[in-house]
A and B are shown apart, each in its own frame.
Chain A
């Protein structure tokens, strides 16, 4: 077992985990507030990847050359437009079903996922697409010899730093602002909140908007890092992020972040030391193992029977 491989895989795992965490936040917040699993959330991530490419091309055409400015503008624009997708999705597919059975919005979410995938396939083509990688360069740590080093690319650093900033802002927003407070109240007792005059529909919309913009951060950063995407990338990463949310305890925001990191690290260390092909098997076995001992996830609280 080599020290360098371990550190390298931990770094890769942190990056992967941050991406999972950013997407898992969307699953967990929506689940917390309306008790449904938004299966179309992974596709929101995919939409963000396409929007990134489109805005990158548009801004370059407009003559903006400086990479930091370009990255910032693309990130903000993608967040705004993906948020719009999240908002419309909720209004079109979930809000009309608010008072029907619990399973109805679930089916509607699967439909929404298919619609988004095929809409992108029809409008953008089924082939894999790419953007030039904007951020080049890397740093090497612990270097002693030609194969003995830990390499961290600047893009990886950007992913982790942005994820940390995004999560901290989200956490601050939930804990300390008026709308975040309303959000927590609706999560605990939606009917009571409505009876006190809180506009619950608006709160639910806001949760979708925030979830989508967090997924947009992930989509943009991963596109900057890898530069390649197709209409189907949302599926696998969506399932993984959902797993992360369940692993951390669905409904819990810190749980989603922790679950993302645990899953990312586990996958990456397993593929570094054992086998790359079976990394997904390992990730899901981990989920099963955790759920046996902690059925409500790492940070989830067990459901308290209402008296």
Chain B
């Protein structure tokens, strides 16, 4: 039961507003974890912190891979200096490096990739190109290699293309490869966004309301895809979702947030029957409250 992601005491302040207050949970390797909660509970804020969109005010987010090497995501984003950094020149240098060059790109390279609730594709590029852009680690980004079309460049490019086709096929988008991403139908755009995230080679795939706006058939397909990503491609999935049917069906763990705090977490059926969760969702009737 090794955990891939450990979130500990995560706090996010926007001015005087405490959006997250000491959030903590673990995500086991190869599991599907759902983050649920009423609107404004802080689910998306957690995601934004995980993927480097925001820099949390305090707390720790660690990503540990199978060999036990762990990465501190907050440090990567250029977290503040600590007193113990002064003792070790190496830690100091690393902190300084992350301060200068750190940012969301490093979180993606560490293996956390996300999709958005309101789809953010590169709308004026083809679906295929969208998938190529995500493969930064694979393609040759040398300024001149592309113009001179060197062998290394062509090999890298061919590999990236192959992988892009693989994921287009996987999500049944092959016939849309050369269409502009912005022209695709809504459901297809959603799939393309997940395909693009997979092209970036994630260890932790964060899906923000992947079923929003999908019809029941599409939702069923989506849940099959998510399960097969986990089984066949070794991806750990973390998702925010309002469709409780989907959540109960595919997740191994459910984390319930309310007012920026974790109020319950555990197996889906246990969370479903938890009175605290019901209260957060439905409210307590006036009479009973007294």
The judgment on whether A and B are partners is: yes
User: Are the CB atoms of B200 and A197 closer together than 8 Å?
Assistant: yes
B-to-A contact residues, CB < 8 Å: 51-53, 101, 103-105, 107-109, 113-114, 116, 118, 120, 122-125, 129-130, 132-134, 136-137, 139-143, 145-147, 153, 156-157, 160, 196-197, 200
Task: State A30–B45 Cα separation when bound (angstroms).
Answer: 32
Task: State A198–B156 Cα separation when bound (angstroms).
Answer: 16
Instruction: List chain B residues, Cβ under 8 A from A201.
Output: 101, 103
User: Are the CB atoms of A196 and B141 closer together than 8 Å?
Assistant: no
Instruction: List chain B residues, Cβ under 8 A from A290.
Output: none
Least CB distance from B90 to A in Å reads 24
A-to-B contact residues, CB < 8 Å: 169, 172-173, 176-182, 184-185, 188-189, 191-202, 206, 209, 307
Task: State A246–B109 Cα separation when bound (angstroms).
Answer: 37
| A195: contacting residue among B51, B125, B130, B146, CB under 8 A | B51
Instruction: List chain B residues, Cβ under 8 A from A169.
Output: 147
Task: State A213–B137 Cα separation when bound (angstroms).
Answer: 27
- Chain A interface, >50% SS class: helix
User: Are the CB atoms of B104 and A195 closer together than 8 Å?
Assistant: yes
User: Are the CB atoms of A199 and B105 closer together than 8 Å?
Assistant: yes
Task: State A119–B240 Cα separation when bound (angstroms).
Answer: 56
User: Are the CB atoms of B143 and A196 closer together than 8 Å?
Assistant: no
| A193: contacting residue among B109, B133, B146, B197, CB under 8 A | B133
Least CB distance from B230 to A in Å reads 21
Lowest 3 A-B CB distances belong to which pairs?
A: A177-B146, A197-B108, A178-B139
User: Are the CB atoms of B108 and A178 closer together than 8 Å?
Assistant: no
User: Are the CB atoms of B105 and A197 closer together than 8 Å?
Assistant: yes
| B147: contacting residue among A173, A189, A191, CB under 8 A | A173
User: Are the CB atoms of B125 and A188 closer together than 8 Å?
Assistant: yes
Instruction: List chain B residues, Cβ under 8 A from A197.
Output: 105, 108-109, 113, 134, 136-137, 200
Instruction: List chain B residues, Cβ under 8 A from A191.
Output: 53, 104
User: Are the CB atoms of B136 and A198 closer together than 8 Å?
Assistant: yes
User: Are the CB atoms of A209 and B139 closer together than 8 Å?
Assistant: no
| B129: contacting residue among A181, A189, A192, A209, CB under 8 A | A181
User: Are the CB atoms of A178 and B113 closer together than 8 Å?
Assistant: no
Instruction: List chain A residues, Cβ under 8 A from B103.
Output: 194, 200-201
Least CB distance from A194 to B in Å reads 4
User: Are the CB atoms of B196 and A176 closer together than 8 Å?
Assistant: no
User: Are the CB atoms of B123 and A188 closer together than 8 Å?
Assistant: yes
Task: State A184–B141 Cα separation when bound (angstroms).
Answer: 14
User: Are the CB atoms of B153 and A178 closer together than 8 Å?
Assistant: yes
User: Are the CB atoms of B122 and A179 closer together than 8 Å?
Assistant: no
Q: Given contacts A189-B122, A196-B108, are A178 and B146 in contact (CB under 8 A)? A: yes
User: Are the CB atoms of A185 and B141 closer together than 8 Å?
Assistant: no
